[in-house]
Structures are given as structure tokens and as C-alpha cells.
Amino acid sequence: MMLIRKSPEILYSEVTPKADYLDRRKFMKGAMATGLLASSVAGVSRLIDPGTEVFADTKLSTVKSPLSTTGEDLTSYQDITHYNNFYEFGTDKGDPARNAGSLKTRPWVVSIEGLVNKPQKIDIDSLMKLHPLEERVYRFRCVEAWSMVIPWVGYSLSELIKQVDPKPEAKYVQFLSLADPSQMPQMRESSISWPYSEGLRMDEAMHPLTLLTFGLYGETLPNQDGAPVRIIVPWKYGFKSAKSIVKIKFVAKQPETTWNDLASNEYGFYSNVNPNVDHPRWSQKTERRIGASLFKQRRTTLMFNGYGDQVASLYNGMDLKKYF
Ligand SMILES: Nc1nc2c(c(=O)[nH]1)N[C@H]1C(S)=C(S)[C@@H](COP(=O)(O)O)O[C@H]1N2
Ligand SMILES: [Mo]
């Protein structure tokens, strides 16, 4: 049973009913207390060394989603939570898992502001209850040419947007992450001008695939993955998905975004996954699937990360080499 979390072929929620899950946890806690767990057991490192890792510990109840990607092996929980980009906690892939424990995710308020008829400050626990939570498996493709397949938990951002009633002048949505050096001391290590900012065109933000994300593998997000709430836009490079969001702002003009500001020739505002538009310093034709067996690791990158049927029409008539 404990191997289920690591098993790549099966949907976590399909094979682990809540009761089993809770039993497993009780067993693991008991086993640890009596020193029974062998270090080879999957997941044991999460329990043995809580000081250097950050755990999500709250089970979420979810419904399955028809928008889930099927037929792909899931990336392991270990890889998803130990190979991260979250520069507020350091620039190495292992830094967020080491450092994000200092992030306090309660209380947490998300401010919805700008060109909306119903601006509001929503407490995270209310935000999570706004709509039933779904499990959505998506491919995740980083601009650095690695990828994962992740069972996220959340609901379409459009559900929230409908509730706040954007004004007709609102053409873009901006997402701003927390920027608190007292909780994120490694912020000072890079020259990024915080807070981390990302944005989408309104029709992209309203697209059902755009996920307001609260969890993964059936639990709340671990801090290093952007707790307590982040955006996931599966057809775009990973940096479009801002983590640990405190503000969602509706604006008339294309907002300034972190990586585009830093190097606009390397990171476009759109950043749709596109194997035909290389990054100036590397090819985007292929990617490395993290954790996959050796001969399945290197794989062809798919246009729009494989979500073209659903999203290509958003870009009709646009030159995607110009608007990369
Ligand atoms: N606030 C914030 N959000 C962020 C980042 C960041 O450094 N800070 N990195 C981005 C990048 S480059 C990627 S690839 C993804 C990584 O998400 P993951 O670590 O959960 O895989 O988060 C994105 N969101
Ligand atoms: Mo990234």
C-alpha cells in the first residue's frame, strides 16, 4: 500500500480510498515510533527527516476531472517535491525543499483587485471551498527543457473569475506571489525584482484548463510547490505558473512579468510550449522527463505541450514565432 504513492501508472485517487489512506498514515506513524520502518520503504524519508523537507499533510477530497491527461506515467511525489524552481527559496533545484519550511501558509488571504465589479480579499480556506476540488493530471513542461506529469488538485480559475465579475476593460490577469524576506530569506540571493509576477490574457485565464491549484497527489501543496495556492497553465512553460499567490489583479494592459522583464528575448509573455521556437540558448524540440526510465527520458516536446486541440484556437492568426 505504501508503494501506491510512487506507482506511476495509476491515478492516486482511483487506488487509494480515503480510509486506506488514513490507515496507511496511522500505520506509518506507528511503525516509525516502534522503529519498524526499513529505509527502503517508499516515503520513509519524508517521516525520518522532517527538518530538511517540507510536507503537505492535509488530505483533500477531490472529484475526477474529464480534463485530466491520461495514459502517462505520473512523476513521483519525491521528484515533484525535490526538483523545484522557486527562487524566493534559492536558485538550486533542491533549495526549495530545504528552505521553504519557513513559509507560513495560514492565515493566508488572496486579494482580488483591479478592473472587477466585486473586488475582494478571500481567505484561503474560503477560496478552496468556492468550487469542488478536482484531481487534474497535467503534463508540466519547464522552459529549461525538463518535464513532469503531475496530479494537481484544484478547480478552473474561470470559476473564481466569474464570481468577481471582471469589467469589460479587463484584458489581462496578473498574478503576484508573496514577497516576504522574513519567510523567504533566499530572496536576497538573486537580482529578481520581487514580487514574482506573471500574467495571462483574459481568454487564457478563462480557459477551463487553467487551474487554480491547491494541492497535488491528493494533499495540500507542499510549500516548495507553491502553497497554499498557485496557478497551473499546462500548455505554457512552467514559469507562467506563479506560486504562493497573494494577489490576482485584473488590468487593461499586458502586465509586467518577472522573466520577461529580466530577459525579454529569452522569455516571452506568451511562452506557449512550442518545439518549433527554440530558446536562444537551447533547443525546445525535446525534453527530459524527470524520473523516467533511461530510454523514456528524452522525448519529443509537443506543440502546446499536447493541449493543442483545446487551446490552439486562442492563438488563431497570431505569429507564434513573434509572440513566443
Ligand atoms: N513565485 C514563484 N513562482 C514560480 C517560480 C518562482 O521562482 N517563484 N518559478 C517558476 C518556474 S521557472 C517553474 S518551472 C515552476 C516550477 O514549479 P514546481 O517547482 O512546482 O515544479 O514554478 C514557477 N513559478
Ligand atoms: Mo521553469
Which domains, ranges and CATH numbers included, belong to the chain? 1-48 (no CATH), 50-315 (3.90.420.10)
Place of cell 529505509: 39
146-156/286-289 β-pairing: parallel
Residue ID of nearest Cα to ligand 1 atom 8: 86
> 36: CA distance to ligand 1 center in Å?
37
Q: Which ligand is nearest to the CA of 91?
A: 1
Cα 93 to Cα 56, 127, 145, distances in angstroms: 19, 29, 14
Q: Are 199 and 114 in contact (CB under 8 A)?
A: no
Q: Which atom in ligand 1 lies closest to the alpha carbon of residue 83? A: 19
134-141/63-64 β-pairing: parallel
Q: Ligand 1 in contact with 85 (CB < 6 A)?
A: yes
Q: What share of the chain is helix, strand, coil (3-state, %, to 5)?
A: 30, 25, 50
Place of cell 527502503: 40
Residue ID of nearest Cα to ligand 1 atom 19: 84
Q: Which ligand is nearest to the CA of 90?
A: 1
Cβ partners under 8 Å of residue 316, min gap 6: none
**Cα–Cα distance, 233 to 158 (Å, whole number):** 12
Specify the pLDDT at position 277: 98
Specify the pLDDT at position 31: 37
> 233: CA distance to ligand 1 center in Å?
12
Q: Ligand 1 in contact with 241 (CB < 6 A)?
A: yes
> 32: CA distance to ligand 1 center in Å?
33
Specify the pLDDT at position 55: 52
Q: Ligand 1 in contact with 83 (CB < 6 A)?
A: no
Residue ID of nearest Cα to ligand 1 atom 5: 86
> 239: CA distance to ligand 1 center in Å?
5
Cβ atoms within 10 Å of 48's Cβ, excluding its own: 12
Among the listed residues 178, 213, 214, 223, the one whose alpha carbon sits nearest the alpha carbon of residue 56: 223
Specify the pLDDT at position 45: 42
63-64/298-300 β-pairing: unpaired
pLDDT in tens, 81-125: 999 999 999 999 999 999 999 999 999 999 999 999 999 999 999
* Cell matching residue 176: 503576484
Residues in the chain with pLDDT < 70? 1-57
Cβ atoms within 10 Å of 107's Cβ, excluding its own: 8
Residue ID of nearest Cα to ligand 1 atom 7: 86
Specify the pLDDT at position 47: 44
Q: Among 239, 258, 262, 271, which residue has the most ligand 1 atoms within 8 Å of its CB, making it the best to mutate? A: 239
Specify the pLDDT at position 226: 98
Q: Which atom in ligand 1 lies closest to the alpha carbon of residue 144? A: 14
